[in-house]
Structure 1
Amino acid sequence: MSLAFSVEGFRSLAQRRLPRMVFDYLEGGADDEKCLQRNRDTFDHWELIPRRLVDVAQRDLSVNVFGTTQPLPLMVAPMGLNGAFWPKGDIALARAARKAGIPFILSTAANASIEEVAEKAGGELWFQLYVVHPSLADQLVARALAAGYRTLVLTTDVAVNGKRERDLRSGFGLPFKYTPKVMLDGMLHPRWSISLLTGGMPQMANFANQDANNVELQAALLSRKMDASFNWDSLKRLRELWPHRLLVKGILHPEDAARCMAFGADGVILSNHGGRQLDSSCSPMPVLKQIANAHPGKVLVDSGFRRGSDVVKAMALGAGGVLLGRPLLYGLAAGGEEGASQVLSIIKDEMDRTLANMGCASMASLSPDHVTSIRG
């Protein structure tokens, strides 16, 4: 891993270690995967405007996120099935986040339970809620509250699962299907196969032992279908149920952001689910400035971030912080907790260098005056 100097370097290491079926699950998007490329291309539409003769001998990367100061403007995005990339992958990521002093957002579809992550990882823990079934959602919210989580992240952009053709071709799912092709691929990737055998088959830990007598709930769990009827009234009910910070993830329209705030949300996360749901979706970056200006300090963003300069551009446009997803999974797949920590160190170093070379001494002093759009 010492030869991996960028997120792309860790991507190559992850691809080398993982069987193709598993790497395709990590890497893939919906339909033709144009949204994946759009998420990356959008950063080229913004250029930084350096300022000169500024004292940047000392740089400050810290930010204030919803009243809490943290050393970096980053959070670990909620991601499911991390145990497929590294044994106890959720705990490894949470520990890397704790060492970096940033929040870790545990996915509903995690391979470690709400309680296990709180016990074994610690740090600033947020819980991401998929509403698969109303009664299950209530149980998960109660468990997160009891385990000490104080930020709830409601994901709203998965009414139905996106059409991920890579997974359809490979047959990826849980439990793994041991076809001859899959077994051969596993033998060609012995380090991954040995770790799976020793660490055990990943399971959706938060779904274990849920109300076995509720046939409707069990059917929803087995098919992983989301509650497509979840609406504004449902959000109002969730706001009344959850007594702490509530963020709504998957927002891209300014009117939706405003309505979330009116319904009592503490903030929104601009996201197109990393290109995994709606292939024709816009990137969050073109709408970031407008929404952040309307709700200062209440807007986070994800989707497509690969460089520290990407983070700086988003912060200059008004983001309160950036959620990192795939970059940390590349690190996790390449080297577990250490690999994830190294990716965070790379992004931190790139952010620091970017600030220095653009004549900006702190994240807090970034503004839209530091960026220009080159859109036609």
Structure 2
Amino acid sequence: MAGKSHVKRILFLIGEREFVSVQERLLHIPSRLAKSGFSVDVVTYKEELHEKAESFYKNTSNVKTIFLKSKPLIWSPQQRDDFVKIFIKHTFDFFIPDTDLKYWKTSAFDDFRGHIASYAFSGLESDYDLLIMPLPSSDEPPTTECDVFYSTLVFYAKEKGIPIVGLQIYPAIHTPPLFLRILDYFVVKEESELQYYQQYDISPERIFVLDDQLENYCITTVEDVYKNLMFDEQIAIGKDELGILIVNHSKYRPQIIEALQALSRLNIKKSTFFYKRGYYVRELSEDQIVDEILKPYIEKTGGNYYIVQEGSLVKLIMMCDIVVSATYIIPLGFAVKHFKDAVVYNPLVKTLDIHDNVSFVNNKDALAGVIMESYSKKQSRMSMTDIMKRILS
């Protein structure tokens, strides 16, 4: 009988300053990796961070939190002097560029001696397949305790031959130069950061652009109240499916029906959200009209479908991948600004190539093409799961 496949184990480091910069968004990365089949140990040195992580992951399988408590180190003056002598020995022939001034003369008795670590960490003994850590900033460097924490676990990974992956939270230009030599792989937010690292002869195979919309936001320091809506897990839309939002309109019911018919022809995994709008025709309510006239077509779209009441349009836009309407409405422009696709389908309107980056189509084949293009675009985006699988393959 064939043995079970090895579950890849990931060690995920969290430092205090990096956590403060992105808040709990950073914690979503391990949980999403765990849902993809990885086993993730989230380790930190701060009791407060550990408590937050424990609370965050209390209902998440395959994620374990580890608290590494620092141990104080007390060095005698003689020991500090010995460390300085070792430092001078190893840097004796180093000169400050374009001068005859030796490097140790400017740093050994101040910078080096004054920053000898007074903390130590131990107790991590498990084997891992990968280590992930947020890249610190030279502009706002980590605390001494965090510095020792990172250094200890990076040294641990190097000794064990564990690949190290850095998450680009701060601007790439603020990455400490030492990390250009230490890290095996870099996960960045945009192409410009990839190009920055290539200037330092880091091969493209070692740099990955994280363009999954939610995960990219997880390592972004600027909070966006609209993007926060993407974390709602009441209705989860996976990477392998397309979230499609149909905005109803009382004047264009035939067009809405045709749009639903176009959806039913697409052989892809999809979740369809039908957004109702308040409208009454004498004694008939919008609910009755949708149930009697439109619901049969909604049911034939395939996959999951949801008929949603008014009042949650922005939230639905942020959760979905593409918005379809029978006429141009302001929320379509909002969707595009938040990197969602938007399309107006109406056979009675002349096709426009583009308006406010919204597509205009007037036949079902063209609508199906726009939706399939949106699906292909989503599949091509790189997620942390995709990156980890590439690294570990």
Q: Which structure carries more helix by proportion?
A: 1
Query: Same fold by TM (over 0.5)?
Result: no
TM-score by length of structure 1 reads 0.28
Q: Larger relative contact order (C-alpha < 8 A, sep ≥ 6)?
A: 1
Q: Which structure carries more strand by proportion?
A: 2
Max radius of gyration: which structure?
Answer: 2
